[in-house]
Amino acid sequence: MSPCRRRWRTTARCRWSRPRSRRPPDEPRADPEEVEELLGDPGDPGNPYGFAAAVARDEADAPPDELCRTLVAAGFHLNYLPREWGGAFDTFDRGLTLVRAAARRDVNVMPGTMFSIIAATCLRLHGGEAQREQVARILTGGGSVGFALTEAAHGSDLLAGEVRLDADGRLHGEKWMVGNGLRCDALYVVARTGERGPGAFSAYLLDPGADGLVREPAPRTGGMRGVDTARVRFDGTPVPADALVGKVGEGLEVAVLAQQAVRLMSMAGSLGCADTALRLTLDFAAGHQVAGTPSSRRRTPAGSWPSPRRRCWLRTRWRWPPPGVHVVPEAFSVWAPAAKHVVAEACEELVRRCAAVLATRSVLREGRRARDCSRSFSATRRWCG
């Protein structure tokens, strides 16, 4: 077993796995019930944190800045940060439930407040003390750290990455779809430092304002339109010696390990979209009548309504992986992608059945929250590994 993998097991068991403790009275952290109360009635057209506001932002490709600022002020962002960093992380299942509650309003809240979880996990695994302190200050203050791994020409073929650190300590090439790339306060970059294999990549923590580092908006997406993504180009960007994170050659391995946390947390986005789609469908069916009978009481074509059995199955299946990784952390790399896939499949079927009940209303631009849920769900599923 490699040193990085052993370190992951130790981190998962000893650092992330803290027993659920009572919350100190002065600890700034949010609970799902508090999130719902803080954000108000989602059906109120005048609520800046409601569905109408989310639809308006989606139409304008605008990020949920005001919504994210409100959540950050309530300590929402601290729930994925370890306590020694000034955070309030307890367990993955609690964090997932919290993000799910916020994602019901607008799934863009998830990347808007928690995109830095990948870089933070990488720094937890192999960052130096000074680097951890720097990132902790940024994240607890409501800032963000970008994560630059993939390239447009190669996508998920990570071993083919071309962004390279030359012999003079300068970085060349371009990363794309960099989360928080336009606004980040620090940038975690995986770059080629060797010729072949996974050991040919190292990680660096850079200042986004460094010479030769250019940030541009990434291509627009069909769903989750308010997400901050960027192309980051390195034109001979100088890399200080103390920017190296961990050891030379372990950047790609740690980045892949950190993705498991993202896959686990991405279930919150899928579940949030499914929650909203189901609530919208039930509201419609309760108020819509056919031949004098509410749609919710009529027989529908087979396969239209999400069955109680399916909803119960979905309710139970997402619950076991988050607490399970604290008990069996060595299974994290299997459970996280498996759980993400199973939950995404079930949520996709539920959203499809809701669209069948809504019929034409599921595709109308006017009052089109159901259509936005479908598009955002699709983006969440494909984007988060």
- pLDDT tens digits, one per residue of 152-170: 999 889 999 999 999 999 9
Q: Bridge-partner residues for 187, per DSSP?
A: 146, 206
Say if 3-140 and 253-383 have the same CATH topology: no
Domain spanning 3-140 has what CATH number?
1.10.540.10
What are 312's two structure tokens? 């119960």
Kindly state the average pLDDT of the residues 297-311.
Answer: 55
Strands (E), the chain: 145-148, 164-165, 170-179, 186-192, 201-206, 213-217, 229-238, 244-245, 289-290, 293-294
C-beta neighbour count of 348 within 10 angstroms: 17
* Rounded distance between C-alpha atoms, residue 151 and residue 175, angstroms: 5
CA distance 215 to 217: 7
- CATH number of this structure's domain 145-251: 2.40.110.10
Average per-residue pLDDT in the chain? 81
Task: Let me know if 195 is exposed, middle or buried by CB neighbors in 10 A (0-12, 13-18, 19+).
Answer: exposed
What pLDDT, on the 0 to 100 scale, is given for residue 307? 55
pLDDT (0 to 100) of residue 47: 93
Going from N- to C-terminal start, the domains of the chain cover 3-140, 145-251, 253-383
Which CATH class, in words, describes the domain spanning 253-383? mainly alpha
Instruction: Report the alpha-carbon distance of residue 46 to residue 201 in Å, rounded.
Output: 50
What is the number of other CB atoms lying within 10 angstroms of the CB of residue 150? 18
Is it the case that residue 382 has pLDDT exceeding 70? no
3-state DSSP: the chain helix, strand, coil percent, rounded to 5?
Answer: 55, 15, 35
Residues 205/243, Cβ–Cβ less than 8 Å: yes
Poorest-pLDDT segment among 100-104, 165-169, 278-282: 278-282
Q: Which two tokens stand for residue 25?
A: 């009275």
Cβ proximity of 99 and 223 under 8 Å: no
The distance from CA 261 to its chain's CA centroid, rounded to whole angstroms, is: 9
Residue with more model confidence, 181 or 220: 181
Which pLDDT band, with edges at 50, 70 and 90, does 302 fall under?
Answer: very low
Instruction: Calculate the CA dihedral of residues 332, 338, 341, 344 and round it to 10 degrees.
Output: -70
Share of the chain above pLDDT 90, in %: 39
Bridge pairing between strands 170-179 and 186-192: unpaired
Token match 């339109």: residue? 225
- The answer to whether 212 and 245 are in contact (CB under 8 A) is no
**DSSP category for residue 88:** -
For 227-253, what is the mean pLDDT?
95
| φ, ψ of residue 320 in degrees (nearest 5) | -80, -35
Instruction: Summarize the confidence of residues 172-197 as an average pLDDT.
Output: 94
CA dist 285 and 304 (Å) reads 12
Q: Which of the four pLDDT bands, split at 50, 70 and 90, describes residue 367?
A: low
